[in-house]
């Protein structure tokens, strides 16, 4: 494929955590290593998070420095391939005039996770694609909009989405008979997180050098509320954690949660969970990568909305574990028929299934570690994922 101009949006500066950095910047680095001219753009119109103070701030200078430093460390050629505007309107990285020109000439503007305040300049790209990383939440307002019952905010969000040309989603089971995600208005094309395996393969640790503990990095949502879709209340990750509170009593090895937000830490500890502060293991991309690599495996639930809707969603974080040869024991969202399961990826739906999967992992760690690496290469390698995304984005007719 000839070299293309591609814009990728994200939240790597707005939320300066290692996992968020990898979520978005692997798109940028993946496209760059395929020979494309790529620009990372972050323009949310919102305040950014300051993790040391634990609050949101209007001025983003420190967040911009974090982004610049880690892009340079990842690949020096990224040092001039970014633009960030904070809530005050202050711009960092590339000059705004250069950014406008790049967007106007771009073959593809990839809007990920509704992360961008979509100005008219951004819609000037030849093709504007939306990538839904938060299925069911993204589509929650669709039924009300179709029925003419959407409020102003819902209507505005849907009409912003409709201005895009092509639509991708991490809901890989969408369209199946058991998937409950609304399908009206949009033609959703399944995709998944790209992994630049070269960023992880040198950090794979021998089994003997890993901590004999299952880990994950997660956040406890600030409220129990979630989208109501066709009369059904969907919830976040906390609702699923509640179902597995007693799992440590059934697990043959310890379970550790690196948790942010207002989680009931003492109640978790009373049930046998090891609790650590999420920022201590995700303060930058390298600390985060080391934490994942040192784990015997991952154990995690998914958001209730992903599970109940049978979305087929698979975690970006879990894909990074796989690229480090670390097997994942993760809650099934409907991905079992899409991503091979049983070796490297061990899905569960109940406490007993989770305990059995952990037992299987402890009996055959080397086999599951090899399978994890194979799955990362076959199903998540950035060249494959991004080539397919580009082919579908550029060949798709304009409009929903």
pLDDT recorded at residue 348: 98
Q: In the structure, what pLDDT confidence band is assigned to residue 222 with cuts at 50, 70 and 90?
A: low
Look at residues 280, 336, 344, 342 and name the one whose alpha carbon lies nearest to residue 318.
344
**Listed range (82-91, 353-362, 388-397) with the worst mean pLDDT:** 388-397
Rounded Cα distance between 50 and 53, Å, is 6
pLDDT recorded at residue 285: 98
> What is the average pLDDT score of the chain?
95
Structure tokens at 234: 């969907």
The pLDDT of 266-284, averaged and rounded, is 96
- pLDDT tens for each residue of 297-356: 999 999 999 999 999 999 999 999 999 999 999 999 999 989 999 999 999 999 999 999
- pLDDT tens for each residue of 7-22: 999 999 999 999 999 9
Q: In the structure, what pLDDT confidence band is assigned to residue 397 with cuts at 50, 70 and 90?
A: low
Rounded Cα distance between 13 and 84, Å, is 8
pLDDT recorded at residue 232: 77
Residue 1 has pLDDT above 90, yes or no: no
pLDDT recorded at residue 180: 96
The pLDDT of 390-396, averaged and rounded, is 93
pLDDT recorded at residue 262: 87
Residue 225 has pLDDT above 80, yes or no: no
Which is it for strands 128-132 and 108-112: parallel, antiparallel or unpaired? parallel
How many CB atoms within 10 Å of residue 284?
Answer: 15
**350: phi > 0 → left, psi -120 to 50 → alpha, else beta; which?**
beta
The pLDDT of 75-100, averaged and rounded, is 98
- pLDDT tens for each residue of 128-156: 999 999 999 999 999 999 999 999 999 99
Structure tokens at 38: 């790529």
pLDDT recorded at residue 213: 98
Task: Give the 3-state secondary structure percentages of the chain, helix then strand then coil, rounded to 5.
Answer: 40, 20, 40
Residue 179 has pLDDT above 70, yes or no: yes
The pLDDT of 81-110, averaged and rounded, is 98
The pLDDT of 107-124, averaged and rounded, is 97
Residue by residue, what is the 3-state secondary structure of 258-279? EEEECCCHHHHHHCCCEEEECH
Across-strand partners of 42?
Answer: 84
Q: How far is CA 361 from the centre of its chain?
A: 25
Residue by residue, what is the 3-state secondary structure of 215-245? EEEEEECCCCCCCEECCEECCCHHHHHHHCC
Residue 398 has pLDDT above 70, yes or no: no
Structure tokens at 294: 């040192």
- pLDDT tens for each residue of 23-68: 999 999 999 999 999 999 999 999 999 998 889 999 999 999 999 9
Rounded Cα distance between 84 and 61, Å, is 10
**Listed range (84-88, 218-222, 277-281, 358-362) with the worst mean pLDDT:** 218-222
The pLDDT of 364-380, averaged and rounded, is 98
- pLDDT tens for each residue of 259-270: 998 899 999 999
Structure tokens at 15: 């939320």
- The whole model's pTM is what? 0.96
pLDDT recorded at residue 52: 85
The pLDDT of 361-366, averaged and rounded, is 98
Residue 287 has pLDDT above 60, yes or no: yes
**272: phi > 0 → left, psi -120 to 50 → alpha, else beta; which?**
left
The pLDDT of 230-248, averaged and rounded, is 90
């Amino acid at each position: 494929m000839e070299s293309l101009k591609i814009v990728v949006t994200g939240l790597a500066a707005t939320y300066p955590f290692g996992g968020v950095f990898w979520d978005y910047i692997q798109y940028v680095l993946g496209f760059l290593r395929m020979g494309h001219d790529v620009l990372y753009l972050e323009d949310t119109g919102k305040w950014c998070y300051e993790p040391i103070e634990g609050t949101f701030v209007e001025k983003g200078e420190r967040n911009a420095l974090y982004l610049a430093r880690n892009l340079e460390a990842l690949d020096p050629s990224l040092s001039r391939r970014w633009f960030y505007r904070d809530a005050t309107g202050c711009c960092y990285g590339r000059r705004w005039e250069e950014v406008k020109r790049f967007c106007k000439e771009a073959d593809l503007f990839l809007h990920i996770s509704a992360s961008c305040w979509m100005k008219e300049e951004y819609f000037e790209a030849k093709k504007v694609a939306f990538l839904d990383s938060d299925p069911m939440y993204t589509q929650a307002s669709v039924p009300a909009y179709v029925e003419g019952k959407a409020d102003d905010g819902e209507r505005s969000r849907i009409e912003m989405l409709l201005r895009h040309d092509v639509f991708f989603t991490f809901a890989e089971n969408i369209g199946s008979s058991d998937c409950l995600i609304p399908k009206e208005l949009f033609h959703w094309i399944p995709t998944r997180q790209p992994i630049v395996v070269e960023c992880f393969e040198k950090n794979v640790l021998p089994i003997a050098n890993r901590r004999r503990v299952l880990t994950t990095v997660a956040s406890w949502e600030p409220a129990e509320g979630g989208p109501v879709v066709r009369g059904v209340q969907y919830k976040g990750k906390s609702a699923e954690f509640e179902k597995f509170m007693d799992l440590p009593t059934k697990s043959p090895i310890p379970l550790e949660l690196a948790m942010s937000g207002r989680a009931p830490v003492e109640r978790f500890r009373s049930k046998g969970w090891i609790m650590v502060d999420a920022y201590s293991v995700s303060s930058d991309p390298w600390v985060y990568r080391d934490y994942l690599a040192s784990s015997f495996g991952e154990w995690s639930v998914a958001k209730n909305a992903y599970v109940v809707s049978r979305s087929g969603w698979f975690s970006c974080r879990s894909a990074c574990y796989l690229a480090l040869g670390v097997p994942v024991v993760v809650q099934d969202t409907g991905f079992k028929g899409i991503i091979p399961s049983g070796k490297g990826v061990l899905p569960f739906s109940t406490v007993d299934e989770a305990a059995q999967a952990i037992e299987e992992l402890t009996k055959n760690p080397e086999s599951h570690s090899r399978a994890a690496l194979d799955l990362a290469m076959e199903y998540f390698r950035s060249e494959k994922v991004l080539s397919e995304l580009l082919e579908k984005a550029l060949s798709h007719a304009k409009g929903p």
